[in-house]
Each structure stands twice: as structure tokens, then as C-alpha cells.
Structure 1
Amino acid sequence: MKFTKMEGLGNDYVYINCFSEKVENPEKLAIAMSDRHFGVGSDGVILIKPSDKADFTMDMYNADGSRSEMCGNGIRCVGKYVYDYGLTDKTSISVETLAGIKYLDFVIKDGKVDMVTVDMGAPILKADQVPVRSDKEQVIDEKITVAGVDYHMTCVSMGNPHAVMFVGDTEHFPLEKAGPLFEHHEVFPNRVNAEFVQVIDRHTVKMRVWERGTGETLACGTGACATAVACVLNGKTDDEVTVKLLGGDLIIRFDRENNKVYMTGPAKVVFDGETDRF
């Protein structure tokens, strides 16, 4: 089986072209290939498939084999893959995901995709649709106590659930301890991706993320989008913000008039490979 390892700001996945490859058990494959000692090493596996609703389908599995609705860094790499590897010659495409159809625009440099802007659609704020258990219609700046520590969370779905907390210092925040406790907290029926955010100024924030089913990753595109929305809703930043992640920067714009979020960032190929092990 042929595969390509790609990364968006260090959020790395193994990509498989299902126009030419057949995957029988994607859950088992994701666990095996994601292993950083006995496999290829990644945050998960993304299958690129045909679609009868869009140009392509993105089918995503986390490192623990669980299925995920969407990944902002992952979908940018899907865009780069289908253009660079000749599956399309269009510089604007649509991709079907479990979170709906997303629209991508490419910036081409030396014949290959350099940057990708993704129309991530409308943020979902209704508590029962995120989902998060609450007696309020929306969870904005709502208190939550985890391991005896009080936080204030804003919950946003970008097709997958996010809880955004503002902290004073992301660098020294105990993410390895707090992350799993948020992910599996009883108020999140489908678990949650947890973002811990430090506001630098009206245009810049720093973010660390604990991703559901994976743990801490170097970047999370949907998490950066949820963070930007939370920043705007809480009056922390302007509508366009640079989100500084461990793997690099994403530019997120929350178009409040049209209720859409746009994400711009890079996508890169790490290497191509072939295996008969999995």
C-alpha cells in the first residue's frame, strides 16, 4: 500500500489515496500506522476518496482508531495532495467531510500548493449541538471546575466539539494533566478538544491544544478557528487573529456578518512511502 505523510504546522497525518488503494479496516490501520515506534508515526490517518456531493471526500481517523469529523490542518493537506499529485488541476475545490462540505482555495508556488485558505463554515454555538451539557442555550464564559481548579469555558463546534479556556501563560500550563480531564469530562457526551489560550494583543493569541483521541498536538486547525470565535465572543480580539501554535501560525478570520470562519495556513509533504506491513 502506498501512502504519503504530510503535515500542517506539525499536525501530521498519513494520507492514503483511495482512488488507487483499498483500505479494509481503517480503524485498525490508523492505530498501527500512527504508532511512532512500530508504525509510520502520525496523529492519525486520512483517506482521500471520491464523492458524489463534492470534488473529494476526506475520511479521518485519530491515532486511537476513533473517527473524527474534521481537521483544519488535515484538510489543507488534502488540498495540497489532490493538486500536487494530479487528482485535480483546479485551484478551488470542495471536500466532503463528516462536518459538511468545505471549500478550499490554493495559493500556487512553483507549480505546487504553498498555502490553503479553507472556508470552515459557520461556528456552531448551541450547547446541544456542540454538544455540551448545559442549562444555557450557549456556553460562553461559563464556569467549569476540573480537578479542583475553576476555569471559564466557551464551547464551539467547528464540525467537532471544542472547549476554549483563557489562561495567563500557555507555556507553563499543565496540559498533560488537565487535557485528559477535559476530554473525558461528563459535560461532554462526545468527549471534547480542549484549547488553552493566552491573549497577546487584539490581533494575536497563543494556543495549546489537547485533541480528542490523540493528546497534545503541535497544531489544530478547527481548534484555532474555535479559539478565534471564542476570542471575538468574549471581546478579547478583533475579528482577524493570528493564532500562534507550537507548530507555527494560522490566520483566522471570523466574518460575523456572514457567520463564517476562514482559515489560512501551510501544508507540506514529509515523504512518500510504501508498505505491505499493515
Structure 2
Amino acid sequence: MSISTDAAGASGALSALAGLPFAKGHGTGNDFILVADPDGAHEITPAAVAALCDRHRGIGADGLIRAIRSERLPEGRALLETEPAAEWFMDYRNGDGSVSEMCGNGVRVFVHFLLDQGLVELAGGGSVTIGTRAGIKVVTRSANGYAVDMGPWSFIFPDHAAAKSMDSVVHADGLEVPRPALSISMGNPHTVVALAELEELAATRLYEAPEVQPLPEHGTNVEFVVPAEPLVADGAGSITMRVHERGVGETQSCGTGACAAAAAIRYWAGAGAPDDWQVSVPGGVVRVRFLARDGAEHVELSGPAVLVARGTLV
């Protein structure tokens, strides 16, 4: 498959990428264009990313991921000082071309792409260390996909969250009144809103970004979540989620968003809430677990990763 730069409607922005091979992949419907540029030979501009991710005039995707050696980026070189095993850096851009810190579904697809390209070797049960703008991520290959240690979660507004169990208010089209929310950091920002019923979740319109007050410094992804009834079955919690992602819009899935949503619902549920969660998103189901590691509470995200196409930009 070949994609013409003229057909993409942005030949100027894409001409520097002509001849570059790409792959298209997804994790529970959260889809990405992936390119291997080990030595950083190509300039990836916001305009080129936006043109490629355009669903009508480009390839179409929620974002673009470049595989580049960590030593070729300032952020990567900083990580190598403490974690020399992080040879590869996930250079992730949102669909509008803006740079993003991290993507939980994207890092699984990224490792799958590295394997496909022969850039790493990873047997079942083996792990690889990846550099991201949200720090080091360790990804383990499993029978049904990949599990990612996403690192610790935290409150974006810790003083407000501890005092009130909420720290912001969200206005969204389709909801009659503004809703209280909790802002969670997974290395990138999230604001989680709990809804009472699936019907209310379905009626929420996410064509435009919800209004969040106060807004985290670098913007935020917004998750709307309905807890299952009962919330816990067979020792695991269950929630259903939709998300509006910064710089993208509504997506079929958001890995860091699933982690943030599970963290918020678990926090609201209080003592005795489980550490194991199933998060249903429009694109499928991911698993979120909370694990004590290195004196902190880490979040592990697991789910599938699929490559669906390969081609060359022409």
C-alpha cells in the first residue's frame, strides 16, 4: 500500500517523509501510524502528523508514533543516564500534531511494532524497557498481548482531592448540569467524571472538548465512567468508559485514561476496593491492576496490540 502526499492534501508538509515506510496498528481501537526512524534522520513536523492522521485526506489515526533511539533525543538521553537499557524511545504525537507525554495503548502497539521490524527480540514473558516523555516504561509480553508498568499514579490537585474527593467541575454537551470530577496524573493529565447510568454515558456528546474548571496546566483528557452494578465481582472491579483526548477528540480507547478512571473509582470506593479492574471501552476491554512496587503504588495496564497494514509514503 502506498499513500500519496498529494492525495493527503499536504504535499509540502509531507514531502520530507517521501519514501518512509509506515505501519498502521491499534490497541482496542485506539489507532496509530508507526514509523521507524532509528537515527532521527527525518523531521516530523506537526503539519505532517496532522495531514497523515487526517481520516479523510490522510491515512487516518489518533496519533503518530516514531521509533527512534533514545540517544537521538534530548529527552531520551536524559533517561539513559539512569536507565541505559532504554535503547528505544516512543516519540508520540497526537492526531493534531501536538507532542504528548505518553499513551498506554500506544506503548503496547509500539513494542509490537519494534518486534515486527526486528528492532527488539522479546519472548513470551520477557520484558523490554522503553523511554517516553512520561519516563521509563517496562513492557512485558504475555499470551494475549502486552502488560505495561505505567508507574505510580498521583493527584494533579492533591490538596483539593484529599479534602473533597473531587477537585474540578466538568461541563459536557449532553449532560444537563456540570459534574464534579477528579484529576489524575498518569504521566499525562486526566479528569475523571463518574456517571450513574450507561444511558447517560451514551447521551454524552464528545464532538467538542468538555470544559474543565480548573484546567490542568497542559490541558487534560476527560473520562466519563459508569461503575458496574455490582461494582465488584469475583474479586475484580468493573467500569465502562468513554474519553475525549487532548488534540484528538473522542477515541475508541485510551490506556492511560483507563488507568486514571480505575484509580478514581477505586479512590471513591474507599477501603476494601479491589486492586484488579476490567475497563470496558468502545474498542474492547483492558485490564488495570494496582501493584506495590519500590515503595509506591504502580499501575499496570494490559491488553492486545495489532498491526493491520504496512505501506510507504510516496
Whether the 8 Å CA contact 1:182–1:192 is kept in 2: the answer is no
Q: Which residue in 2 is equivalent to 1:266?
A: 304
Q: Which residue in 2 is equivalent to 1:106?
A: 141
Q: Which residue in 2 is equivalent to 1:242?
A: 278
Q: How does 1:131-150 map to 2 (within 5 A)?
A: 140-142=165-167, 144=169, 146=171, 149-150=177-178
Q: Is residue 2:86 matched to residue 1:65?
A: no
Across the aligned residues of Structure 1 and Structure 2, the Cα RMSD in angstroms comes to 2.2
Q: How does 1:42-53 map to 2 (within 5 A)?
A: 42-52=61-71, 53=80
Q: Is residue 2:248 matched to residue 1:214?
A: yes
| CA–CA distance in structure 2, aligned partners of residues 145 and 21 of structure 1 | 40
SS in 2 for 1:180: coil
Shift of the 17–28 alpha-carbon distance from structure 1 to 2, 3 Å rule, reads same
| CA–CA distance in structure 1, aligned partners of residues 44 and 167 of structure 2 | 40
SS in 2 for 1:67: coil
Whether the 8 Å CA contact 1:127–1:138 is kept in 2: the answer is no
Q: Which residue in 2 is equivalent to 1:74?
A: 106
Whether the 8 Å CA contact 1:76–1:116 is kept in 2: the answer is yes
The amino acid of 2:165's aligned partner reads: I
Q: Is residue 2:52 matched to residue 1:18?
A: no
Shift of the 138–55 alpha-carbon distance from structure 1 to 2, 3 Å rule, reads farther
Q: Is residue 2:288 matched to residue 1:255?
A: no
| TM-score normalised to structure 2 length | 0.78
Whether the 8 Å CA contact 1:153–1:163 is kept in 2: the answer is yes
Shift of the 243–61 alpha-carbon distance from structure 1 to 2, 3 Å rule, reads same
| CA–CA distance in structure 1, aligned partners of residues 266 and 291 of structure 2 | 10
CA shift for structure 1 position 262:
0.3
Q: Which residue in 2 is equivalent to 1:94?
A: 129
Q: Which residue in 1 is equivalent to 2:190?
A: 162
SS in 1 for 2:43: coil
In structure 2, list runs of 5 or more residues that go unmatched: 1-19, 72-79, 81-85
Q: Which residue in 1 is equivalent to 2:60?
A: 41
Structure 1, 87-96 or 7-16: larger mean CA deviation: 87-96
SS in 1 for 2:155: coil
Q: Which residue in 1 is equivalent to 2:202?
A: 172
CA shift for structure 1 position 138:
7.4
CA shift for structure 1 position 73:
0.4
Whether the 8 Å CA contact 2:39–2:69 is kept in 1: the answer is no
Q: Is residue 2:225 matched to residue 1:197?
A: yes
More helix by share: 2
| CA–CA distance in structure 1, aligned partners of residues 57 and 39 of structure 2 | 25
| CA–CA distance in structure 2, aligned partners of residues 59 and 247 of structure 1 | 23
| CA–CA distance in structure 2, aligned partners of residues 138 and 262 of structure 1 | 27
Whether the 8 Å CA contact 1:140–1:155 is kept in 2: the answer is no
| CA–CA distance in structure 1, aligned partners of residues 109 and 301 of structure 2 | 13
CA shift for structure 1 position 93:
0.5
| TM-score normalised to structure 1 length | 0.87
CA radius of gyration, larger in = 2
Whether the 8 Å CA contact 1:126–1:137 is kept in 2: the answer is no
Shift of the 58–139 alpha-carbon distance from structure 1 to 2, 3 Å rule, reads farther
The amino acid of 2:24's aligned partner reads: K
Whether the 8 Å CA contact 2:168–2:183 is kept in 1: the answer is no
Match of 1:116 among 124, 146, 158: 146
Instruction: Give percent identity, aligned residues only.
Output: 33
In structure 1, list runs of 5 or more residues that go unmatched: 109-113, 129-133
CA shift for structure 1 position 89:
1.1
Shift of the 142–127 alpha-carbon distance from structure 1 to 2, 3 Å rule, reads closer
The amino acid of 1:71's aligned partner reads: C
| CA–CA distance in structure 1, aligned partners of residues 54 and 156 of structure 2 | 36
| CA–CA distance in structure 1, aligned partners of residues 23 and 41 of structure 2 | 15
| CA–CA distance in structure 1, aligned partners of residues 58 and 108 of structure 2 | 23
Shift of the 138–162 alpha-carbon distance from structure 1 to 2, 3 Å rule, reads farther
| CA–CA distance in structure 2, aligned partners of residues 135 and 49 of structure 1 | 39
